[in-house]
Amino acid sequence: MDMTIPIQIHGSNVLREVATEVDPKNRKEVDLFIEQLIETLKVTKTGVGIAAPQVGTSLRVFLIWENRGGDTRPDIFINPVITQFKGSKKTDYEGCLSVPGVYARVERFQKVKVQYLDGDWNPQEKLFKNFEARIIQHEFDHLEGKEFFDHLSPVEFDKIKRQLDELEKGNIPELEYEYKLE
């Protein structure tokens, strides 16, 4: 049984909404949804994270899978809150499953402290560094209705604007995963 969910592409309204907090009373449904998110992330082959809004669901849930080759399951973040941004910032390239084929250099903090519920619904508070911190900030942005290019200067944004316009028109590069245009 295919459990994947089509990924929303830039231009979809849900990508610009602030996601709704998960109600623990809905644990059974949320656990099933998380399994669908995991399967969806797996078929992307290259994705290192995915947030619920990227599959059209306005919930405060995301997954990160920094080491896809070694980890059997991604780390699950339910109702995450970034409590601290720490250390210096670093600029590096980012892309996004919802913005296929578009990459830009984004400045992010190198450390973040996060409070969240894990996949077993246990409270956690952890400090994440480097690439994990970057992925978390990127996925957390999705929960806040932001996309990675919102962090770009006007000059840097202009460099990718044409590509974003093409995505909004439905001109999507060939992908290994199923997507949905609104």
139 among known catalytic residues = yes
Residues 32-83 have pLDDT tens digits of 999 999 999 998 888 899 999 999 999 999 999 877 566 678 999 999 999 9
Percent above pLDDT 90 for the chain? 81
Q: How many residues does the chain have?
A: 182
pLDDT of 1 over the 70 cut: no
The whole-number pLDDT of residue 66 equals 73
Average pLDDT, the chain: 93
* CA 76 to chain CA mean position, Å: 12
Model confidence band, residue 128 (pLDDT cutoffs 50, 70, 90): very high
Model confidence band, residue 113 (pLDDT cutoffs 50, 70, 90): very high
The whole-number pLDDT of residue 71 equals 64
Mean per-residue pLDDT, 6-12:
94
Q: What is 7-180's CATH number?
A: 3.90.45.10
CA triple 165-4-9, angle to 5 deg? 10
Residues 144-153 have pLDDT tens digits of 999 999 999 9
CA distance 14 to 55: 9
Residues 6+ apart with CB under 8 A from 151: 106, 107, 108
pTM: 0.93
**Pick from 9-23, 82-96, 164-178: least confident:** 164-178
| Residue spans per domain, the chain | 7-180
The whole-number pLDDT of residue 162 equals 95
pLDDT of 16 over the 80 cut: yes
Mean per-residue pLDDT, 86-99:
95
Catalytic pick from 35, 66, 132, 139?
A: 139
